[in-house]
Amino acid sequence: MRATPPLLLPLLRSNAVGELLAWLYLHPENEYSTIDLAVRTGASQSTVSREADRFAAAGLTRERRHGNLRLIRADTDTIVAKPLTDLLAVTFGPLAVLPPLLHSISGIDEAYLYGSWAARYANQAGPPPRDVDVLIVGSADDDELYDAARTAERVLDREVNINRISPTSWNVDLDDPFVASLRSKPLCSLIRKRSTS
């Protein structure tokens, strides 16, 4: 059964393709192994390898080998690099831009995208998201979250709204209308658990 093209960018085959390209093009200074990209996107390593083959064949990426590792990076010299980067920033960008910004902030237990962006990612019909809504569960410093949101806005070219709630509110106060509303609609995790193996 074929996957439905993502509503965030229907030109692509799947959300996995959008996420992989976003990681590569929104961090062009970095090169990633297929294992690292699989962890960052939640895609299987075989999916990442297959898509990496397609990206290389299309001239979108450059690769090099380091021992057994296949290291991949965006080819920023191609004529499509700038428009593709811009398009990825406003579609799949939140999944590639926000995790590194949030990773350095202590006190974050969980982080999710919600609202219109998460709905489009879940393939619920609607117009392109005009902003990005982020839920932080934990005790992170509001000033640090504000700074992360402003940094993300510069890359994503849209407003980033961060709401922080306590773990108790998220896990215990299920009658809270805000929590109940969030839990009844699509959420997209920004923190992927890394494998310890």
Residue 1: pLDDT band (50, 70, 90) is: low
Percentage of residues in the chain having pLDDT higher than 70: 95
Report the candidate in 91, 53, 87, 90 with the shortest Cα–Cα distance to residue 72: 53
Contacts of 141 (CB under 8 A, 6+ apart): 105, 106, 107
CA-to-CA dists, residue 33 to 21, 38, 62, angstroms? 14, 9, 12
Cβ(138)–Cβ(109) below 8 Å: yes
pLDDT tens across 11-39, in order?
Answer: 888 999 999 999 999 999 999 999 999 99
Tell me which CATH code domain 95-189 carries.
3.30.460
Two tokens, residue 190: 């920004």
66 DSSP β-pair partners: 69
pLDDT higher than 60, residue 126: yes
Order of all β-strands in the sheet with 32-33: 32-33, 69-74, 61-66
pLDDT for position 195: 35
Q: What pTM was computed for the model? A: 0.88
Helices and strands: H and E segment counts in the chain: 9, 7
What are phi and psi for residue 67, nearest 5 degrees?
65, -125
Residue 196: pLDDT band (50, 70, 90) is: very low
List where CATH 1.10.10.10 sits in the chain: 15-91
pLDDT for position 2: 62
List where CATH 3.30.460 sits in the chain: 95-189
Give the CATH fold of the 15-91 domain.
Arc Repressor Mutant, subunit A (1.10.10)
pLDDT tens across 142-188, in order?
Answer: 999 999 999 999 999 999 999 999 999 999 877 889 999 999 999 99
Two tokens, residue 151: 């940094």
